[in-house]
Structure 1
Amino acid sequence: MLDNAPGGTPIAGPAVGAFLAVRRRLVTAGAGGRVGREVWAAAAELAEIAGWALFDAARFRAAQRFNREALRLARLAGDASMELLVLQNTGLVAGWSGRGRDELAIAEAALARRRLTPRVASMFRARQAQGLAVAGAEWEVAKAFRRAHDLLGESEPAHTPAWAWWVTHAEIDRQHGRVLHDAGRWAEAIPVLRGALGDGPENEVGYRGVVTVRLLDCYLRVGAWAEAEQTAGELLVAAPEMTSAVIRRLLRDAAAHGGRRPGVPGDLRDALRALRATASPPA
């Protein structure tokens, strides 16, 4: 995925520009029939990419505007697969914007549909779990994450969307780790987040950098200084190549908070200071 590629170029601007150019042509030329549906589907995919890129740039309101446009176009095209992906992205942005109840509503509406493939259903179960966490339903959260993992063990039909490849056990662990981290259950989050960073293609989760940053924060919160120092060293190497504004913001906050904790060894405090400077936007 783009966010896993070191030194990747931010794509929000080009993605938005490409979609707007296509939309202008659609408005001018119009489109109907089968060809029209194919054009609408292509435009929906461009809008989806723009929405994702805007999320990655931490422009959440703009991301949701493009998500709404992508959803409208996908429905015009009759593209149910793209509609599901856009609904997932819309729930994602809602959750990161602090609107967990909206995230939950989106996930449960999707799960109410018939004929979701196991991998797609797993994706929405994980999204449901994160919304339930905001509602304080801890037992239901654990149940939803278990169900998300179980669904990945079911056989996949041939019509599973190609875009769902990234929905893996490691990705579910990443999302579960986020819930535990944000709930202040740092010791519990550590093994879950470590699981999302294991070796092998299964663990190449989409937002891998987020996992490492959250692990650093967990280590700092529980006073695991040796582990924190090792993770901070890894991030010092990776941080200059990070283009995701979402990840850089999390890193900046974790480094700032960790640097203020009592008892932090001097070398680790220096590393956190360097991470905070690297992750901060240019003056």
Structure 2
Amino acid sequence: MSTSGQSDQVEQLRQSISHLVGLDGQQGGAELAPLAARLFRSASARLAARSYEPSTERDLTAVTAELGEVAGWLAFDSMHFDAARTLNFEALRLARSAGDRNMELFILGNIAMQAQEVKQPRAALRTVQLMETFKLTPRLRVMTDLRRARAAADLGDARSFAVLRRAQSNLSNGVHRTDPEWSWWVTDLELKVHEGGMWQAFGQPASAVECYATVVESTVERYRWARFIGGANLIRALVEVSDWREVENTAARLHELAGKVSSARAGQRIRIAARTARRNKVPSSLDDMLTSLAHRSMTRPMNRPASGIKR
């Protein structure tokens, strides 16, 4: 293939990544995860066949690593944790091969987040310690501190909040010219989400409710997935304080999104909330609503996303 053809291939992969990320924000990863994995496998196979000009090797490798990061994230949100782990480590190898330290750091952050999600905070902390050996841009320092704070909270270390406050303070300094473009998601709302999780780890669901309510109210409507999983987090915290009226209000709003958005992780949070609510003597009508919502959150969206993604 000519150098021009290789450049077109790199650009097509970048467009596919952009399209996948945009669709993920709209409808979650259930429909997208297998498609992203197939795209990554195809791109990886082309690299392995070495059918490219040497001058384009780094760009092809780097963009394939980025595609692997997206595929790993989508598998993670779909709770296909074994697949996510495999995709993450394959993408990590490619990022290292390309010398893309920023993408390597991003993927390590995802690996730490998955360890935290599956209740392995010590493994998460070990990954964070590796991340801290990198030369970090300001926003990547915030991301790394966020991952450390969350892992430390799950280990019961009260100093975790000091780390989070440092991250919040550093984030207020704004974007630096050295920050990678993909770090756009490192925002005050992202930190607020994890602050809620930290309060829950310390057995203070009322404080978690405040954090999650702020996130839901402040997330713009076009980011439906973020509003959906934010609402799932909020329901779980509200159930823990037995605020049935607000649970019902939040569940009603999420029902409007269900069918348009799917997230296995959101569904898992709602299922946990439903079980807790049942133990806390929730009204039967609300029990039915939560059970229905948990089921619907796992259902793939009605609109298929494949069109527009370069294969």
Normalising by structure 2, what TM-score?
0.81
- Per the alignment, do residues 64 and 7 of structure 1 end up closer, same or farther by CA in structure 2, a change over 3 Å counting? closer
Counterparts in 2 of 1:84 and 1:127: CA distance versus 1, 3 Å: same
1:1-283 map, 5 Å: 1-6=22-27, 10-29=31-50, 33-114=54-135, 116-138=136-158, 140-199=159-218, 207-262=226-281, 264-279=282-297
Q: Secondary structure at the match of 2:216?
A: coil
Using the TM superposition, name which of 180-189 and 267-276 deviates more: 267-276
Give CA deviations for 1:218-253 in whole Å, capped at 9, x if unaligned: 212212122111111112222232322121222222
Give the RMSD, CA atoms, in angstroms: 2.5
Please give the alpha-carbon distance, in whole angstroms, between the structure 1 residues aligned to 2:222 and 2:258. Answer: 20
Pairwise CA distance, 1:109: 2.3
Give distance in 1, aligned partners of 2:252 and 2:205: 20
Residues 4 and 208 in structure 1, CA contact (< 8 A), matched pair in contact too = no
**Normalising to structure 1: TM-score of the pair?**
0.89
Cα distance between partner residues in 2 of 1:212 and 1:175 = 14
Supply the distance in 2 between the matched residues of 1:154 and 1:10 (Cα, whole angstroms): 37
Q: CA separation of 1:276/1:76 partners in 2, compared to 1, >3 Å: closer, same or farther?
A: closer
How big is each residue's C-alpha offset from its partner over 1:71-106, in whole Å with a ceiling of 9 and x where there is no partner? 110111111121111111111111112211121122
What is the CA-CA distance between 1:33 and the residue it aligns to? 4.2
Distance apart, 1:31 and its partner CA: 5.5
Query: Is the Cα contact below 8 Å between 1:41 and 1:79 reproduced in 2?
Result: yes
Q: Percent of pairs identical after alignment?
A: 32
3-state DSSP of counterpart to 1:198: helix
Distance 2:295 2:45 in 1: 41
> Contact 1:171 / 1:206 at 8 angstroms: preserved in 2?
no
Which residue is equivalent to 2:6? none
Aligned residue type for 2:140: V
- Matched to 1:57, the amino acid is S
Q: Which moved more, 1:163-172 or 1:42-51?
A: 42-51
Aligned-partner Cα distance in 2 for 1:22–1:276: 35
Q: Pick 1 or 2: higher relative contact order, CA cutoff 8 A, min separation 6.
A: 2
In structure 2, what is the Cα distance between the partners aligned to 1:144 and 1:221? 26
Q: Is the 8 A contact 2:259 2:296 kept in 1?
A: yes
CA distance in 1 between partners of 2:91 and 2:49 (Å): 19
1:67 is matched by which residue type in structure 2? N
Once residues 222 and 169 of structure 2 are traced to their aligned partners in structure 1, the CA distance between those partners, rounded to angstroms, is 17
What letter is aligned with 1:56? D
Aligned-residue offset at 1:9: 6.2
Change (3 A) 1:201 1:216: closer
Unaligned runs of 5+ in 1: none
Q: Which has the higher mean CA deviation after the structures are superposed, 60-69 or 100-109?
A: 100-109
Q: Which runs of 5+ in 2 are unaligned?
A: 1-21, 301-311
Q: Encode CA deviations 1:115-155: one digit per residue, 9 max, x unaligned.
A: x22211111111101111122211x1110110110111124
Count of matched residue positions in the alignment of Structure 1 and Structure 2 = 279
| Cα deviation digits, residues 39-63 of structure 1 (max 9, x gap) | 1112111211111111011011211
